[in-house]
Amino acid sequence: MEPFSDFMPYPGCRIVILNSEKFESLPESVQAVVQQAFDIKESTGKEAQRINDALLQELVVQE
C-alpha cells in the first residue's frame, strides 16, 4: 500500500484507508493488527467531508 494513495495519516492518531479493496487484499494478520490499533468506521464520501470540515475548523488558528 502506498502512502497518500491507498491510505493517509489523519489528525488524532487516525488513519484513512482510501483504497478499501487493496486493504482487504492484505493478509488477515495485517488487517487484524490495523483493526486492533484503530477504531474502524466506514463512512460515505459526504460523511467523510463533514468530518474533514469539522476537524479543519478545529485546526484553524484565528487571529
- Eight-class DSSP state of 1: -
Is 17 in contact with 33 (CB distance < 8 Å)? no
pLDDT reported for residue 28: 95
* pLDDT single digits (tens) 15-58: 778 888 998 999 999 999 988 888 777 777 788 788 778 777 77
Residue 15 — left, alpha, or beta (φ > 0 → left; ψ -120 to 50 → alpha)?
A: beta
pLDDT reported for residue 29: 95
Chain centre to alpha carbon of residue 39 = 10
Is 23 in contact with 31 (CB distance < 8 Å)? yes
pTM: 0.56
Is 6 in contact with 17 (CB distance < 8 Å)? yes
